[in-house]
Amino acid sequence: FNVFRMYAMMPERGVRVTADSSLGAMASRNDSGLYLMVWNKDSQGQTADITLNNLPFKSDSVDIYTIDPDHASYFDNDSTAELELTETLALPDSGVPLSRALREYSVNLFVFRNSGVISSLAETRPIPRSLRLLSAYPNPFNPRTTLRLQLERRERLRISVWNVRGELLIKHPPAWFDAGESRVALDMNGYSGGVYFVEVRADAGWRQTVKVVLLR
C-alpha cells in the first residue's frame, strides 16, 4: 500500500492510535489539524469506529480521502498517489464514535481541521493563510464569472461550489496556484438562478468563501 511512504510526508507529532487486528492505523498532528490514516488489510469491508479524546483544538467536521482497489495503480512503487476528497462529515458530539465503513484493501485518510478555536492544551497560533483577496467578477452573473485569487505564496487549492442547502454542486480538481494573482473561470450554465457559495480550501488547512448570485 505504500502507507509508510505516504505517512513519511505527514506532520511530525505522533499520536497514539489503537485499532482492530484487521485494521492498521497511525496519526499525527500539527497546528492545522489531526491527520489519521486507517487502512483495511482484510479482503472484506470493515467498520472503523473513531473516538477522539482530548483533541487540543476545536474541529466540527472531518474530510475523508480514500484510495481503494479500483485505483490499484496508486500502489505501484514507482507512482505517486493523489488522495482525492471523497466526503466531508460533521463530527458527532465529544466522546461519540465516528463510524465509517472501509472498503477491502483501502487506505483512508481522515483530516480533522483546526477550526481556529484552540484550547489551552495547544499553542495559540492561528492557521497561516496566504489568500489576501477572493472575489468574483461579474457578480451577479449569467452564466459565467471569473474568480480572482491573490496569494502570498504558492498553495495547493480545491475550489468547490455549494448551494444554500449545503449541497455540493461543483468540485474542481485540486491544483497548484503560484504566488500573485490567479483567475479561475466558473461556468454555471444549467443551474437555476439564486445564491451560491464558492469555497476555496487549501491543503495548509485554511478555507475562505465568497457569495455569488446567478441571474436567470
Low-confidence ranges of the chain (pLDDT < 50): 1-9, 11-12, 72-80, 117-127
pTM for the whole structure: 0.47
Q: What is the pLDDT of residue 77?
A: 47
The domains located in the chain, with CATH, are 3-113 (2.60.40.1180), 131-214 (2.60.40.2550)
What are the Cα distances from residue 3, in Å, to 76, 80, 176, 179? Answer: 12, 11, 24, 31
Instruction: Provide the edge-to-edge strand list for the sheet that holds 131-137.
Output: 131-137, 144-151, 180-187
Quick check: helix, strand or coil at residue 74?
Answer: helix
Q: What is the pLDDT of residue 27?
A: 80
The C-alpha cell that represents 110 in the structure block: 481522515
